């Protein structure tokens, strides 16, 4: 799918809710595909009022889902499984556009999407799921990795235990808030999924 996102130069570019929805969709598509996108690493907020920056791996514009990767031992897993409500914050400073998204999250351990994500990752990327889990206390600065794997690429055999620590964090979006910070006057729109599954939008005051 081809997509083009250009920084808006005038609020007149966003006189229609449909135009805003297209812009929002295209920015999320680019955020997942382009590492240089300012929205590639949004902030993810869980129900325990904790936030962290995560890499957006995929955006499905049909199902309206965001895919992230996580360690099953990470502190965010328990709050998500107890209360799946999450918020995701994107911001593009150059374009002066902020996207706030709300939805429900699921930790997928041994699902098809999880196996596919694991198989498509490099051994260096998979290495993150070896060694100590996130948040384990240490006496000195540490990566948490076994000493023999510091600065080296593990073999497939060495990585076998890491699979148990890998999961997909899948966020299904339900509400979207789009804000354009224009010097002529900010513009803001909100979208929510109706009973039919279609997105319904409205203009709101910034």
pLDDT tens-digit profile of 67-117?
999 999 999 999 999 999 999 999 999 999 999 999 999 999 999 999 999
Would 9 be classed as within a structural domain?
no
Stated pTM of the model = 0.90
pLDDT at residue 145, as a whole number: 86
Would 185 be classed as within a structural domain?
yes
Would 175 be classed as within a structural domain?
yes
> At a CB cut-off of 8 Å and minimum separation 6, what does 192 contact?
174, 175, 176, 199, 200
Would 26 be classed as within a structural domain?
yes
Domains of the chain: total: 1
What does the DSSP 8-state code read for residue 61? T
pLDDT at residue 167, as a whole number: 98
pLDDT at residue 195, as a whole number: 83
CATH of the domain at 59: 2.30.110.10
- Please give the residue range of the domain that contains residue 173: 16-112+166-194
Would 161 be classed as within a structural domain?
no
Decide if pLDDT at 19 tops 50.
yes
Say if CB 173 and CB 66 are below 8 A apart.
Answer: yes
Would 89 be classed as within a structural domain?
yes
Would 48 be classed as within a structural domain?
yes
Would 66 be classed as within a structural domain?
yes
Q: How far is residue 99's CA from residue 176's CA, in Å, rounded to a whole number?
A: 7
Average pLDDT over residues 3-21: 69
pLDDT tens-digit profile of 185-200?
899 999 999 888 899 9
Helix, strand, coil percent content, the chain, rounded in steps of 5:
25, 30, 40
Mean pLDDT estimate for the chain: 92
């Amino acid at each position: 799918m081809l997509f083009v996102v250009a920084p808006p130069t005038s609020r007149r570019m966003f006189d229609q809710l449909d135009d805003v929805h297209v812009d929002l969709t295209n920015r999320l598509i680019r955020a997942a595909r382009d590492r240089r996108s300012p929205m590639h690493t949004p902030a993810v907020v869980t129900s325990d009022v904790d936030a962290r920056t995560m890499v957006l791996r995929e955006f499905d514009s049909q199902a309206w889902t965001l895919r992230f990767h996580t360690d099953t031992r990470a502190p965010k897993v328990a709050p998500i499984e107890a209360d799946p409500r999450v918020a995701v914050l994107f911001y593009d400073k150059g374009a002066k556009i902020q996207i706030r998204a709300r939805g429900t999250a699921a930790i997928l351990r041994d699902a098809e999407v999880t196996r596919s994500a694991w198989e498509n990752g490099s051994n260096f990327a998979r290495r993150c799921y070896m060694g100590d889990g996130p948040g384990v206390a240490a006496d000195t600065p540490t990566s948490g990795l076994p000493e023999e794997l510091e600065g080296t690429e593990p073999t497939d055999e060495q990585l076998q235990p890491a699979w148990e620590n890998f999961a997909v964090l899948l966020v299904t979006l339900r509400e979207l808030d789009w804000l354009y910070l224009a010097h002529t006057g900010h513009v803001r729109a909100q979208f929510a999924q109706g009973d039919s599954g279609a997105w319904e939008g409205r203009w709101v005051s910034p």
